[in-house]
Amino acid sequence: MNPLRLVGTALCCVAIVFGGLTFPSDAQLDPNFYGKTCPQLQSIVSQILSKVANKDARMPASLIRLHFHDCFVQGCDASVLLNKTGTIVTEQEAGPNINSLRAAVSSVLTGGPGWLVPLGRRDSLTANQDLANTNLPGPSSTLPELKSAFANQGLTTLDLVSLSGAHSFGRSRCFLFSDRLFNFNSTGKPDPTLDPAYLKVLQKQCPQNGPGDTRVNFDPTTPDILDKNYYNNLQVKKGLLQSDQELFSTPGADTIGIVNNFANNQNAFFQNFANSMIRMGNIGVLTGKKGEIRTQCNFVNKKKKSPELDITGVTSTESIEGGVVSSI
């Protein structure tokens, strides 16, 4: 079975379990929210995501970035999963989301930290493509632009640097950073904040006027592991995206000290990454009677008639990791 189908199956099956349950109207997020109604939830999710990761090592990175793409647009409400319909203008067709959709979060599977995830979120009834186009920072964002995007979500500079560590693993496509290699800011020259040797490697992988679809590792050292090497790379001018290198190469930036701290102390990075993931996961959540619990992940519930379970439309079955346009 296609890895994405496995994720879709897990999401939809869990939705069906929860769809028949009732919760108090004053329900709040709680790591033990499903302790009585679905005590095997943690085991179910872990098993499914382990299968997904075993089939495609790129998936965990995409899963974390999907969480970011969802939370920065009207909150963490699964609006990014909604397909286009007569009444839904899907976020999946927004510029930052094209070719970048997955569904879940995985850190432990790639050697990163674990944390208690507050549970009890409900699903949105709408999507917002306009917000997806404006709220998500891009791969060429400057540090002030990155800070502004995070501040608009109630997140701090520390959250920005911590969550950027998700680029310790995964891949990006050449067209998202090729301007840095040949014509940075229309200067006709490469980005001066790129290490010359690393620049030559990237130019070979992503030749000028090439197709742009080649996938390149975010981290040239440990590409499939969530670790502190992302920050060590920034120190030696080996950040893949401009938005990565901005954290260290912006003169006088307050992010430099945080990068240095994480580069020297992986435990500090892990702790802050987990804390920031929880903070981001609490943005604009729907609880109680707000929203709904979808019985089909990618469509709002039909009224009066229960929809049949169909996971084929969750998103394309093509392996699409690497097309993520946002900075995280």
What's the maximum distance between 2 C-alpha atoms anywhere in the chain? 63
Contact call for residues 141 and 160 (beta carbons, < 8 A):
no
Assign 227 to helix, strand or coil.
coil
Q: Dig out the tokens for 26 from the structure.
A: 């004053």
Where do runs of H (alpha helix) occur along the chain?
3-19, 41-55, 59-71, 129-135, 143-151, 157-164, 179-182, 196-205, 229-235, 242-249, 255-264, 266-281
Contact call for residues 244 and 167 (beta carbons, < 8 A):
yes
Q: What are phi and psi of 55, to 5 degrees?
A: -80, -30
Extract the annotated binding site for Ca(2+).
70, 73, 75, 77, 79, 91, 219, 222, 227
What is the spatial distance between Cα 101 and Cα 113, in angstroms, rounded to a whole number? 23
Extract the annotated binding site.
70, 73, 75, 77, 79, 91, 137, 167, 219, 222, 227
Query: Does 67 participate in catalysis according to the annotation?
Result: no
Within 8 A by CB and 6+ apart from 291, the residues are: 77, 122, 123, 124, 125
Within 8 A by CB and 6+ apart from 169, the residues are: 60, 61, 110, 218, 219, 222, 223, 224, 225, 226
Type of residue at 128: N
Q: How many of the other CB atoms lie within 10 Å of CB of 3?
A: 22
Catalytic pick among 58, 69, 102, 279:
69
Extract the annotated binding site for heme b.
167
Q: Dig out the tokens for 79 from the structure.
A: 């609006």
Burial label for 138, CB within 10 Å (0-12, 13-18, 19+), is middle
> Hey, which residues are catalytic here?
69
